[in-house]
Chain A
Amino acid sequence: MNFWNKIDTLDRRWVYLLVAISVILPFILPVKLPVYITPETQQLYDAVESLPDSSIVMLTFDYYPSTIAETEPMSRVALHHLFRKNIRIVTVTTVPLGGPSMAEQVTREMAEQYGKVYGVDFVNLGYKANYVAVLKGMGSSIEAIYPTDNLSTPLSELPLMNEVKNYDDIDFIYVVADNGIVDYWISIVNALYGTPVGCGVTAVMAPKFYAFVSAGQMTGLLGGMKGAAEYELLLGQPARATTGMDAQSLMHLLIIGLVLMGNIGYFAGRRQKGKKA
């Protein structure tokens, strides 16, 4: 068995070992290569930046705990930007498994940094079942769909919610998601009520949404951890996503290298077989 045959039939445990090294090594020896801003990230940043003081933004936590490595940094940059600009925030989630808890934890943690008060500067509405009905219903009355917030406080007791009756009172919707719900924020909320929608989605979902950005139905797009890293750079606050960029870089390069090696091994093997025949 020659070298290329060995490469072609490499034990998968070697691949697993290389993956582990590629993920761990950059955290010990960071490279910190420059991150360039894509136009889609810039557009989302500019949209939030152009909102007047005391505007009201609906921020969604439409993701499961499984994708927090990609999605939570997006929620954090969104909260940083919104709180920094004194924008008031209403958080919702269409994900029952952990959505309300993650919204509660991340938002309160960030609010504490900026000295924001619950009920006045931000409110967490939590989860309600059947997202299509929830999204459409909030167009008529948010209180009809969410009579109480996530911790069962009636909306009438929260000063911020006295100003927010439906989408007419929301200036921007900042969706952070890892599933198909984004389609409905665009096709129901943006299309029917005209509220601008900007999104942060996992890298694997991002290619789909370029069509919506181009059509003007979506105002800016963050694609995966790289999108969050770009946003952190725009905010001037490098954090988790920027740290993760080295590991992601090395991982991408490893996969490209493996694919390349696999193909060379494959073609070398084919050539040898052809010679023998």
Chain B
Amino acid sequence: MRTTVPVVIAFLSGLVLAVSIFFRPDKTIIGQLEPELLVWVTIIGGFTLFLGAVSITRVNFNAVQRRKKGWGYSLLTLISVFVMALPSLLPSTWSPLFGDAEGSIYDWLFQYLDKPMMATMFGMLAFYIASAAYRAFRARSAEATILLLTATLVMLWRVPMGEAFLRSIHTALPEWINTYVMNGVNMAVQRGIIIGAALGAASMSLRIILGIERTYMGKG
């Protein structure tokens, strides 16, 4: 029962959404089902976010309660989640500090803590990339050398200083890189990857609809 019901739901939902595209929504029941199902999906999506909040609270609360290693971080996580979430859930009609509009507690925390911290974390990648490029990007083989030369050309082409340098060698060099590297070799390879990934996604969807793929239920 625990396996059959989800498989039947997945089969029916997948089938309706796949078939409904061939039916007019204003004339047929199956055509009308599609927009209805899509609204359901967004509602279920909202519940999954709630489930995520419950899960993060449970895991971190347990860690704090049992004083597990690094429980201080769990406590900070819990404080962050609730300080950010609770005021934003309260109606802004009670106080301008509630809700998520400009001037609210949520907005203040987002603008002055969350946003700069996330940008800083991402910005730190520049240091690691520079260090990793210095250590790992070596012309050890013919393939690595081709990659190295192409990457160097594209990196030069993508910035004004590099572009000025390329133009000093030949005025049309940046346009050649755009035409032959980005719109040539790069595009051909990307098309192969995109088509391969799309075929993979289609076959995986079919496996789920037909009940062959069941890992989403925690079964192998």
Residues of A within 8 A of B (CB): 10, 12, 15-16, 18-20, 23, 31, 33-36, 38-39, 64-69, 96-98, 100-102, 104-105, 108, 128-130, 132-134, 136-137, 140-141, 144-145, 151, 187, 192, 203, 207-208, 210-211, 214, 223-224, 226, 229, 245-246, 248-256, 258-259, 261-263, 266-267
- Pick the contact of A129: B25, B42, B101 (CB < 8 A): B42
Given contacts A140-B38, A223-B158, contact A101 B46 (CB under 8 A): no
- Pick the contact of A18: B115, B130, B183, B193 (CB < 8 A): B130
Taking the nearest CB of chain B, how far is it from the CB of A21, in angstroms?
12
Instruction: Report the interface size for chain B: residues with CB under 8 A from the other chain.
Output: 61
**Structural contact, B45 and A252, CB atoms closer than 8 A:** no
Given contacts A15-B134, A105-B111, A141-B35, contact A133 B42 (CB under 8 A): yes
Question: For window 118-151 of chain B, which residues contact chain A by CB distance below 8 Å?
Answer: 118-119, 121-123, 126-127, 129-131, 133-135, 137-139, 148
| Chain A residues near B39 (CB-CB < 8 A) | 133, 137, 144-145
| Chain B residues near A96 (CB-CB < 8 A) | 49
Known: A12-B135, A104-B102, A207-B186. 6 other contacts (CB 8 A): A36-B160, A64-B118, A129-B48, A210-B187, A256-B156, A259-B133
Nearest to B46 among chain A residues (CB) is: A129
Nearest to A23 among chain B residues (CB) is: B126
Can you pick out 7 interface pairs between chain A and chain B where the beta carbons lie within 8 Å of each other?
Answer: A68-B119, A101-B111, A133-B42, A246-B160, A249-B162, A252-B159, A258-B133
Chain A-chain B contacts (Cβ-Cβ < 8 Å), number: 181
Nearest to B136 among chain A residues (CB) is: A262
**Structural contact, B183 and A214, CB atoms closer than 8 A:** yes
Given contacts A64-B118, A255-B129, contact A262 B48 (CB under 8 A): no
Taking the nearest CB of chain A, how far is it from the CB of B59, in angstroms?
19
**Structural contact, B38 and A145, CB atoms closer than 8 A:** yes
Nearest to B183 among chain A residues (CB) is: A210
A140–B101 CA distance with the chains assembled, in angstroms: 29
| Chain A residues near B156 (CB-CB < 8 A) | 252, 256
